[in-house]
């Protein structure tokens, strides 16, 4: 039997057709197969002894040469013509069996590899009836009646003994053993819009070396060599740069020795998939459903922004956000999933990836969301308590575009969070105060095409804005225009039966997501660290000094412990532990801070009203202890790991320590019942007896307990 196999031009596209060639070899083991491809794929077939004949097809050749080639092929009298590039050769060459460009490919077959397989002629007169049904990693999406299962052996990349010896020699010369954890990195791609930032590859590689003990090999063609050179020159670790120094078959030999391949959408990724090497592929404008990796253990890293995959040669918006928004942490997370857990965490469009074995893609939620908006527009402490939700969503939907809508003063809490793609500011006090301002904001939000909104704190505005933004799924609590939500959870926060963090997590539980990590997160910014270093230098604070931060402010008078007591506690702790004291507060509480300092016997450093939220985090991170009223900075301190003593007053279940207390392991809460039948909050007629009941000695005992635990932990 004689078969003509007409494949494509670009190397990556040709690799995607090799499973079809493998199928033909397996099905017709005695067939003489002639391969015709573009010149770039020459090295794949030219020296393969199993190919009867190899023909280079130049699509730019003159018509006369194409006619001459047609006549030459006609004389071969092929029994079958498999034309995967839909040329006139496939349509008019005489053959008993041929592919047809009229054949309709089912919608459920999306990956190009599977589409090529589907085109193989389906005829009762073939040795095996019906079209191929593949097993293992090449399953094409459901067996049809009458199909015969064919096991395919991937061997169309013919690696010669010379190729094998060349690769062994290079690895040996660079002291890389075959048992080493070799990670191959391909930072290039034929199209510049498919390339993840070379500076990000540069930052990723040291993490791979430090965390996994990996030996890094850079690969690519000659056009990729400048990118690899850029990366290599900026690394302090040794890496092997083979860009432009291997043939495709030598590269295939190298890939077989790798534990993992990290690549853009490129021929390297397709080659690794064909060889069934674990792959982490970074995708932007191209469609991973069509061109994504298909090895048994693989993952796609991407961002589901509203315009992707555009599949265009140029970014319409010039920003190329589909690539630039992909963070180093996103890639590293998938590397860990593959190398450590052996199970990539995939989501979204990948969950139904036709090129992947059924059941391999795992999601914690039954529904996939490409673009997610988290809404929390209240105070800074409340926003800190939502940060585990951000991480849980990122881990469940690693490729989703995740944004968070916050008030201006809470921006620093989430700006710089590695699990977020965008921070959206909703300013109800100024820019969006009027209803018209909110409607315009909602219309701008609508353009971002969010699929899901999680409204963690119910407000009329939050529900209206997400409703007018046309977000199809809006989940929140059934309070304050809650009827505008698509999914309503009963509001019981006023009973204070659990912590506010747990109320936030309840929305994830509703989606079927159970977070493993409930730790709070506060980004530490370089500019804030520099600011605090300058301040400490001016104030004469040394690295070994023990720092105590005092926060005498709060959002309501019913939460404010007496200034004189803060002063007395500070003095006694200075005398006992040698603390240097920092007084902090927001701009509205500067007078309270000044009163504390006025009543102190020892000097204190007044930072009241002088720090941004980000700078406050840098201050608290350096402190040994933080004493505060019930307020937002308590949760910032818990997020950065500083032990907290939090003083609570009001006797209301919804405002109790059960709901709002600090979450650190060493943190202490001081709260006393004083017999009030009803809390009147700032209208209290008993001179805030609940706060008066907390004595200086109570705070000092709590401080002693924390300091003992800290000392014990350091020993």
Predicted confidence (pLDDT) at residue 319 exceeds the cutoff of 90: no
Domain with CATH 3.40.50.2000 in the chain: 2-150, 161-352, 371-510, 526-714
**pLDDT digits 0-9 by tens, 487-524:** 999 999 999 999 999 999 999 999 999 998 999 999 99
Lowest mean pLDDT across 23-37, 108-122, 472-486, 636-650: 108-122
Counting residues of the chain whose pLDDT is more than 70, the rounded percentage is 89
Cβ atoms of 77 and 186 closer than 8 Å: no
Average pLDDT over the chain reads 88
* Residue spans of alpha helices (H) in 217-364: 225-233, 248-255, 267-274, 288-291, 321-324, 328-339
**pLDDT digits 0-9 by tens, 45-89:** 988 888 999 999 988 889 999 999 999 999 999 999 999 988 888
Please state whether 477 falls in left (phi above 0), alpha (psi between -120 and 50) or beta. beta
- Tell me if residue 77 falls in helix, strand or coil: coil
With CA atoms as reference, report the closest residue to 154 among 21, 5, 7: 21
Predicted confidence (pLDDT) at residue 184 exceeds the cutoff of 70: yes
User: Which residues, other chains included, contact 697 with Cβ-Cβ below 8 Å and sequence gap of 6+?
Assistant: none
The position carrying tokens 């970074």 is 282
Give the pLDDT band of residue 371 (cuts 50, 70, 90).
Answer: very high
Cβ atoms of 330 and 324 closer than 8 Å: no
Give the pLDDT band of residue 306 (cuts 50, 70, 90).
Answer: confident
User: Would you state the pLDDT for residue 404?
Assistant: 98
User: Would you state the pLDDT for residue 154?
Assistant: 78
Q: Which helix (H) or strand (E) holds 201?
A: helix 198-212
User: Which residues, other chains included, contact 624 with Cβ-Cβ below 8 Å and sequence gap of 6+?
Assistant: 546, 547, 548, 579, 642, 643, 707, 710
Tell me which range, 150-154, 343-347, 408-412, is most confidently predicted by mean pLDDT.
408-412
Rounded Cα gap, residues 553 and 561, in angstroms: 9
Q: How many residues does the chain have?
A: 715
Give Cα 300 distance to the centre of its chain.
10
How much is the average pLDDT of 444-467? Answer: 96
User: Would you state the pLDDT for residue 654?
Assistant: 85
Rounded Cα gap, residues 441 and 431, in angstroms: 9
User: Which residues, other chains included, contact 177 with Cβ-Cβ below 8 Å and sequence gap of 6+?
Assistant: 171
Counting residues of the chain whose pLDDT is more than 90, the rounded percentage is 72
In a 10 Å sphere around its CB, with 0-12 CB exposed, 13-18 middle and 19+ buried, how is residue 491 labelled?
Answer: middle
User: Which residues, other chains included, contact 511 with Cβ-Cβ below 8 Å and sequence gap of 6+?
Assistant: 365, 367, 475
User: Would you state the pLDDT for residue 691?
Assistant: 87
Q: Higher-confidence residue: 545 or 140? A: 545
User: Would you state the pLDDT for residue 650?
Assistant: 74
CATH match for 526-714 among 2.90.10.10, 1.25.40.10, 3.40.50.2000, 3.20.20.10? 3.40.50.2000
Sign of the Cα torsion 609, 611, 614, 619 reads: negative
CB atoms within 10 A of CB 58: 12
CATH match for 2-150 among 1.10.10.60, 3.40.50.1110, 3.40.50.2300, 3.40.50.2000? 3.40.50.2000
Lowest mean pLDDT across 130-144, 315-329, 365-379: 130-144
Cβ atoms of 328 and 203 closer than 8 Å: yes
* Fold of the domain built from segment(s) 161-352: Rossmann fold (3.40.50)
Q: Name which CATH class applies to 371-510.
A: alpha beta
The bridge status of strand 149-150 relative to strand 240-241 is: unpaired
User: Would you state the pLDDT for residue 343?
Assistant: 63
Predicted confidence (pLDDT) at residue 345 exceeds the cutoff of 60: no
Predicted confidence (pLDDT) at residue 350 exceeds the cutoff of 60: no
Sign of the Cα torsion 454, 457, 459, 462 reads: negative
CB atoms within 10 A of CB 490: 9
From residue 443, give the alpha-carbon distance in Å to each of 338, 377, 437, 486. 41, 18, 10, 19
**pLDDT digits 0-9 by tens, 551-569:** 999 888 888 999 999 999 9
Rounded Cα gap, residues 595 and 175, in angstroms: 67
In a 10 Å sphere around its CB, with 0-12 CB exposed, 13-18 middle and 19+ buried, how is residue 10 labelled?
Answer: middle
Structure tokens at 557: 């008078």
Q: Which helix (H) or strand (E) holds 42?
A: helix 42-45
Rounded Cα gap, residues 62 and 57, in angstroms: 12
Q: Higher-confidence residue: 684 or 260? A: 260
Give the pLDDT band of residue 133 (cuts 50, 70, 90).
Answer: very low
The position carrying tokens 């505008």 is 484
User: Would you state the pLDDT for residue 566?
Assistant: 96
Structure tokens at 190: 């034929």
Give the pLDDT band of residue 315 (cuts 50, 70, 90).
Answer: confident
**pLDDT digits 0-9 by tens, 233-253:** 999 999 999 999 999 999 999
**pLDDT digits 0-9 by tens, 524-551:** 999 999 999 999 999 999 999 999 999 9
From residue 206, give the alpha-carbon distance in Å to each of 195, 210, 231, 238, 258. 19, 6, 11, 10, 17
With CA atoms as reference, report the closest residue to 366 among 353, 345, 347, 342: 347
With CA atoms as reference, report the closest residue to 273 among 296, 249, 257, 289: 296
Q: What are the two backbone dihedrals, phi and then psi, of residue 231, each rounded to the nearest 5 degrees? A: -65, -50
Rounded Cα gap, residues 309 and 320, in angstroms: 11
User: Would you state the pLDDT for residue 473?
Assistant: 96
Residues 668-675: contacts with CB under 8 Å, at least 24 apart: 668/643, 668/644, 668/702, 668/705, 668/706, 670/645, 670/646, 670/694, 670/698, 670/699, 670/702, 671/647
Predicted confidence (pLDDT) at residue 18 exceeds the cutoff of 70: yes
Angle at 297 between CA 304 and CA 178, to 5 degrees: 125
């Amino acid at each position: 039997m004689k078969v003509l196999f007409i494949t494509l031009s670009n190397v990556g596209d040709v690799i995607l057709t090799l499973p079809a060639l493998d199928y033909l070899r397996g099905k017709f083991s005695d067939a003489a197969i002639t391969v015709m491809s573009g010149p770039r794929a020459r090295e794949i077939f030219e020296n393969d002894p199993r190919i009867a004949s190899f023909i280079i097809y130049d699509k730019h050749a003159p018509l006369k040469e194409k006619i001459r080639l047609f006549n030459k092929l006609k004389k071969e009298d092929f029994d079958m013509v498999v034309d995967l590039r839909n040329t006139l050769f496939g349509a008019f060459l005489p053959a008993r069996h041929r592919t047809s460009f009229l054949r309709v490919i089912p919608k459920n077959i999306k990956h190009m590899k599977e589409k090529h397989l589907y085109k193989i002629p389906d005829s009762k007169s073939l040795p095996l009836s019906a079209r191929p049904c593949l097993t293992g990693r090449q399953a094409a999406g459901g067996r049809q009646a009458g199909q015969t299962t064919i096991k395919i052996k991937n061997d169309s990349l013919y690696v010669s003994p010379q190729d094998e010896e060349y690769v062994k020699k290079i690895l040996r010369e660079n002291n890389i053993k075959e048992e080493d954890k070799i990670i191959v990195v391909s930072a290039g791609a034929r199209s510049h819009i498919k390339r993840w930032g070379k500076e990000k590859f540069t930052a990723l590689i040291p993490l791979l070396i430090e965390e996994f003990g990996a030996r890094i090999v850079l690969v690519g063609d000659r056009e990729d060599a400048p990118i690899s050179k850029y990366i290599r020159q900026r690394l302090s670790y040794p890496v092997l740069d083979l860009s432009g120094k291997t043939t495709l078959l030598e590269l295939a030999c190298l890939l077989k020795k790798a534990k993992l391949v990290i690549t853009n959408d490129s021929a390297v990724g397709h080659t690794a998939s064909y060889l069934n090497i674990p792959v982490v592929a970074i995708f932007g404008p191209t469609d991973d459903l069509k061109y994504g990796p298909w090895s048994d253990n693989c993952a796609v890293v991407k961002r589901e922004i509203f315009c992707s995959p555009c599949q265009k040669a140029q970014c319409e918006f010039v920003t190329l956000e589909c690539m630039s928004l992909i963070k180093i942490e996103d890639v590293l997370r998938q590397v860990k999933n593959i190398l450590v857990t052996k199970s990539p965490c995939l989501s979204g469009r990948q969950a139904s990836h036709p090129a992947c074995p059924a059941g391999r893609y795992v999601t914690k939620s039954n529904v996939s969301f490409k673009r997610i908006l988290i809404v929390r527009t209240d105070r800074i402490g409340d926003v800190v308590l939502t940060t585990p939700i951000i991480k849980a969503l990122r881990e469940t939907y690693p490729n989703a575009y995740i944004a968070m809508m916050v008030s201006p003063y809470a921006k620093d809490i989430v700006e710089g969070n590695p699990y977020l793609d965008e921070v959206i500011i909703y300013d109800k006090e100024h820019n969006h105060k009027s209803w018209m301002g909110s409607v315009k904001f909602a219309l701008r939000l609508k353009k971002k095409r969010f699929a899901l909104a999680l409204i963690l704190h119910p407000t009329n505005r939050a529900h209206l804005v997400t409703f007018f933004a046309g977000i199809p799924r809006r989940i929140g609590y059934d309070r304050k225009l809650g009827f505008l939500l698509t999914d309503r959870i009963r509001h019981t926060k006023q009973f204070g039966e659990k912590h506010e963090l747990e109320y936030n997590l309840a929305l994830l539980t509703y989606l079927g997501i159970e977070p493993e990590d409930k730790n709070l997160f506060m980004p530490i910014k370089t500019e804030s660290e520099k600011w605090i270093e300058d301040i400490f230098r001016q104030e004469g604070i040394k690295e070994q000094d023990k720092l105590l931060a005092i926060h005498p402010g709060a959002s309501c008078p019913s939460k404010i412990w007496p200034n004189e007591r803060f002063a007395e506690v500070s003095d006694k702790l200075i005398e006992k532990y040698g603390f240097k004291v920092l007084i902090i507060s927001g701009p509205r509480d500067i007078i309270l801070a000044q009163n504390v300092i006025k009543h102190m016997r020892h000097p204190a450093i007044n930072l009241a009203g002088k720090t941004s939220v980000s700078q406050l985090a840098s201050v608290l991170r350096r402190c040994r202890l933080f004493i505060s009223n019930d307020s937002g900075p308590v949760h910032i301190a818990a997020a950065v790991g500083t032990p907290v003593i939090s003083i609570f007053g009001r006797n209301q279940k919804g405002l109790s320590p059960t709901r709002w207390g600090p979450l650190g392991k060493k943190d202490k809460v001081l709260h006393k019942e004083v017999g009030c039948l009803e809390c009147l909050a700032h209208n209290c007629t008993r001179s805030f007896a609940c706060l008066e009941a907390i004595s200086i000695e109570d705070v000092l005992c709590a401080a002693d307990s924390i300091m003992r635990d800290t000392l014990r932990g350091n020993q």
